[in-house]
Amino acid sequence: MGSLSPYAGRRVCLTTRHGKERALARPFLHGLGAILEVAPCDTDQLGTFSGEVERLGDARATCHRKALLGLEASGLSLGLASEASFGPHPAVPLLSVGQELLLFVDLERGLSVLEQRLDLATSLARRSLEPGELASEGVQAWLAQVRFPSHALIARPAEGHPGPCLKAIRTQAELEDALARCAAASPEGRVWLETDMRAHCNPTRMASIRRLGFQLVRRLGRPCPACGAPGWGLQATLPGLPCSCCGTATALTAQERWGCAACPHTELRPRRDGLQQADPGHCPWCNP
């Protein structure tokens, strides 16, 4: 694919301070023949993870601003940036889910091409505790669940008290030290612990970004059948797969809409797995 790629031999500027080139350089080189360069700029001005849940529209806009920031700093015309938002699962509110976005910007063609994925494994978690509770079964189970120490933590004083905000905690000794310092700054002696979701602190997110990189590269390698612009691919899934028993439309995907990032051309395609009917278990009539 590399030699036919419209981006072969081109330099692409990745805006990151969190080592995302480790996940993205390979897909871009092998899939498109493009060379990633890290943009020397400070993305913290666009906001950092503060524990607030960002809506998708906001995450996309932040991602776009981040990519443009890198293009300005590097003087290149091809840019790449990623952004994540975390919140309740759209269908199962008790489950937390990570939404990872990866955006490619081509200033010469006036293109911006987005890939995204929902990731159940990439979840944000937080809890409060007193330092004395560290050895307790509950806290130890929580630490195992958030995959500490392979996944880093952030600590700060509980109840919003001012004080240290300690990031990238990766060892038992660092955790004990952080708990002591944050508890000392809280009148109740309590500490908020949460998962450090920055990519270099969270291998699950890094893996998710890598998969997204391959997904984006596949899309950039597909030209639009109408105008030839790079970036042809899935835009939306359309529900309505008919029940195999009574024919009622279910919530399952019936068709995929593919589209172009440059022109209005779209095509409806059948499901990739060839499934034409839904099990009655999904039917609002047969199985309400």
Q: Which residues bind Zn ion (CB under 5 A)?
A: 224, 226-227, 229, 243, 245-246, 248, 260, 262-263, 265, 280, 283, 285-286
- Residues 6 or more apart whose CB falls under 8 angstroms from that of 236 comprise 256, 257
The residue with tokens 């524990």 is: 51
Q: Which of 86, 232 has the CB closer to Zn ion?
A: 232
Name which of 187 and 288 has its Cβ closer to Zn ion: 288
Find the angle CA(140)-CA(143)-CA(147) to the nearest 5 degrees. 140
How crowded is the C-beta side of 90, counted as CA atoms within 13 Å?
Answer: 6
Taking alpha carbons only, the member of 78, 30, 47, 15 closest to residue 213 is: 30
Cα 94 to chain centroid, rounded: 19
Least distance (Å) between residue 16 CB and Zn ion: 29
Q: Please report how close the Cβ of residue 67 comes to Zn ion at its closest, in angstroms.
A: 21
Amino acid at 183: A
Residues 213 and 233: their CA atoms lie apart, in Å, by: 14
The nearer residue to Zn ion, 110 or 270, going by C-beta atoms, is 110
Nearest distance, CB of residue 280 and Zn ion, angstroms: 5
Report the SS3 class of residue 230: strand
* CA distance linking residue 285 with residue 255, whole number of Å: 21
Choice between 123 and 248, CB closer to Zn ion: 248
Closest Cα partner for 32 from 52, 10, 14? 10
Instruction: Tell me the closest approach of the beta carbon of residue 109 to Zn ion, in angstroms.
Output: 11
Closer CB to Zn ion, residue 23 or residue 229?
A: 229
| Of the candidates 186, 122, 188, the residue with the CA atom closest to the CA atom of residue 155 | 186
Least separation in angstroms between CB 188 and Zn ion: 55
Q: Which is nearer to Zn ion, 92 or 227 (CB)?
A: 227
- The least CB distance from residue 267 to Zn ion, in Å, is 11
Q: Tell me how far, at minimum, the Cβ of 251 lies from Zn ion, in Å.
A: 12
Whichever of 216 and 241 has its CB closer to Zn ion, that residue is 241
Q: Which of 71, 12, 73 is nearest to 41 (CA)?
A: 73
Q: How far is Cα 114 from Cα 105, in angstroms, rounded to an integer? A: 9
